């Protein structure tokens, strides 16, 4: 009765048919398909815990730290919600990186999935933006100085740097104005962008289905596959449950620390480090010489990262061989190089002395 009433109005049966029709290719790389769903699950965890945190969090330089202290000590299960939010953020970025790299190496960006790649890549940038803006919100010492260093890097960009720095900080220095700004970006601007992009990304995945690897596709015969519903979705569910157990364990055994309250007048502590996912870029900037061909080393570094990011964004249009269904080892090696570079620089970032 209710079903048919809803079906008449929402077309549920059509959606159901769509779900039943959808199939997922089965091959030795199928495991990578789960990463997108895993990232989506962690994003949903972020949305849920983030909304719960909003009930108590106060985004001012005077109250932010104390409100989180209150969440951690007084609010029922506040510690759990905040710790899961912080851990899930890190896990989400991690699975997002894996998802991105698997798509890159499997060349799943081949036509007709160029826009899926583009929307996914922008979502990755949005996720990094979530990480950067969220890191400041507890208003503790580490976050304060890491944000100061992070925003300083933006200021180095020629022509627009100075302006962007002021816009980002809401003034000359990181202050209460920066906090409210980051808060607005974290809870309103980025979620709005993310929801739009995510809708587009999921629609495109649904529209084009999962991409099979090149070698399987080039064989021409119909590849083995399994139904998305319920076979693949139940497998996804297993992954999500595992992630939930991992998150609960991390929150119970390693609740996120709060540190000491930010004091803008205190000297910066030694060895300020960004979040792990920014480490490879941060470390690269440290290794660059003061000047490269009359241009400041940092400027060259930032321009290189910007150009690198843009190249990655348009990679489906550059990799013509893959677009034609041919092997493109150059892009495979570029992907592997990128992974090695990021891993090595991140490792160095955590092991080298802070002054090097």
Partner 1 sequence: MRGSVADRCFTVYALAALLPMAPHAGRAQETQDPSCVACHGSLPDDRLATPAKLFPTDIHAQRGFTCVACHGGDASAAGFEAMDPARGFLGRPRGRMLLDVCGRCHSSAEFMRRYNPALRVDQVTEYRSSVHGQRLLQHGDTLVATCSSCHRPHQMRPPSDPQSSVHPVNVAATCGACHADADRMRPYGLPTDQLETYQRSVHWRMLSEEGDLSAPVCNDCHGNHGAAPPGVSWVGNVCGQCHTTMAEKFRDSRHAQTFAMLGVPGCAACHGNHDIQDATVSLLGLDSGAVCANCHAATDGGGLIATGMRGLIDSLETRFDSARHQLERAERAGMEVSRALFQLEGAQNARIAARTAVHSFDLIAVRREVETGLAVSDSGLAAGRRVLKELNFRRTGLAVSVTIIVALIAGVLLKIRQIERRG
Instruction: Tokens for 53, please give them.
Output: 């945190």
Q: Which stretch binds partner 1 (CB under 8 A): 194-202, 208-216, 225-233, 325-333?
A: 225-233
- The angle that helices 141-155 and 161-169 make with each other, rounded to 10 degrees, is 150
257: contact with partner 1 by CB under 8 A: yes
Q: State in angstroms the smallest separation of the CB of 227 from partner 1.
A: 8
Q: How far apart are CA 109 and CA 101, in angstroms?
A: 11
Q: Which two tokens stand for residue 65?
A: 């730290």
The residues, any chain, with a CB within 8 Å of residue 302's CB and separated by 6 or more, are 153, 156, 157, 285
- Judge contact between 338 and 103, C-beta under 8 A: no
**Residue 137 engages partner 1 in binding (rule: CB under 8 A):** no
The verdict on 245 binding partner 1 (CB under 8 A) reads yes
8 C-beta neighbours (distance < 10 Å), count = 10
Among 3, 5, 253, 294, binds partner 1 (CB under 8 A): 253
Residue 325 CB neighbours (<10 A): 12
| Strand (E) or helix (H) holding 296 | strand 295-296
Of the candidate residues 10, 44, 125, 252, the single one contacting partner 1 (CB under 8 A) = 252
Segment interacting with partner 1, rule: CB under 8 A, options 19-27, 251-259, 281-289, 299-307? 251-259
20 sits near partner 1 (criterion: CB under 8 A): no
Q: Is 19 in the site for partner 1 (CB under 8 A)?
A: no
Tokens representing 249 are 């364990």
Q: Does 69 bind partner 1 (CB under 8 A)?
A: yes
Q: Any contact of residue 73 with partner 1 (CB under 8 A)?
A: yes
Q: According to CB under 8 A, which one of 254, 317, 333, 347 is a site residue for partner 1?
A: 254
Residue 267 contacts partner 1 per CB under 8 A: no
Q: What is the 3-state secondary structure (H, E, C) of 150-180?
A: HHHHHHCCCCCHHHHHHHHHCCCCCCHHHHH
Listed ranges 10-18, 136-144, 247-255, 318-326: which one lies at the site for partner 1 (CB under 8 A) = 247-255
Nearest approach, Cβ of 235 to partner 1 (angstroms)? 6
| Shortest distance, position 255 Cβ to partner 1, whole Å | 4
Residue 175 in contact with partner 1, rule: CB under 8 A: no
How far lies 40's CA from each of 24, 63, 118, in Å? Answer: 17, 32, 17
Interface ranges with partner 1 (CB under 8 A): 69, 72-73, 79-80, 227, 230-231, 234-235, 237-238, 241-242, 244-245, 248-249, 252-255, 257-258
């Amino acid at each position: 009765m209710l079903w048919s009433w809803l079906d008449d109005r929402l077309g549920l049966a059509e959606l159901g048919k769509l779900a039943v029709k959808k199939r997922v290719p089965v091959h030795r790389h199928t495991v990578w398909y789960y990463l997108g769903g895993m990232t989506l699950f962690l994003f949903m965890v972020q949305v849920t815990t983030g909304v719960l945190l909003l009930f108590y969090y106060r985004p001012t330089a005077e109250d932010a730290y104390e409100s989180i202290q209150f969440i951690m000590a007084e609010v029922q299960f506040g510690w759990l919600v905040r710790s899961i939010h912080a851990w899930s953020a890190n896990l989400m970025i991690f699975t997002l990186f894996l998802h991105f790299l698997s798509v890159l190496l499997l060349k799943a960006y081949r036509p007709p999935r160029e826009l899926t790649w583009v929307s996914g890549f922008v979502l990755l940038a949005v996720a990094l933006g979530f990480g950067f803006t969220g890191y400041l919100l507890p208003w503790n010492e580490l976050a304060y100085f890491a944000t100061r260093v992070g925003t300083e890097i933006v200021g180095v960009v020629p022509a627009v740097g100075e302006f962007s720095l002021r816009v980002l900080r809401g003034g000359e220095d990181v202050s209460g104005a920066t906090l409210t700004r980051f808060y607005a970006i974290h809870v309103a601007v980025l979620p709005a962008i993310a929801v739009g992009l995510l809708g587009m990304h999921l629609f495109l995945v649904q529209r084009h289905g999962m991409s099979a690897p090149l070698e399987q596709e080039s064989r021409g015969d119909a590849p083995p596959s399994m139904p998305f519903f319920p076979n693949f979705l139940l497998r996804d569910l297993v992954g999500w449950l595992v992630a939930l157990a991992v998150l609960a364990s991390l929150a119970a055994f390693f609740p996120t620390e709060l540190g000491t309250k930010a004091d803008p007048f205190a000297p910066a502590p030694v060895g300020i480090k960004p979040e792990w996912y920014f480490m490879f870029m941060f470390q690269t900037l440290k290794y660059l010489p003061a000047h490269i061909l009359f241009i400041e080393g940092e400027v060259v570094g930032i321009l290189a990262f910007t150009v690198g990011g843009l190249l990655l964004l348009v990679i489906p249009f550059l990799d013509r061989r893959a677009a034609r269904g041919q092997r493109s080892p150059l892009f495979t090696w570029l992907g592997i190089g990128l992974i090695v570079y990021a891993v090595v620089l991140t490792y160095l970032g955590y092991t080298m002395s802070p002054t090097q």
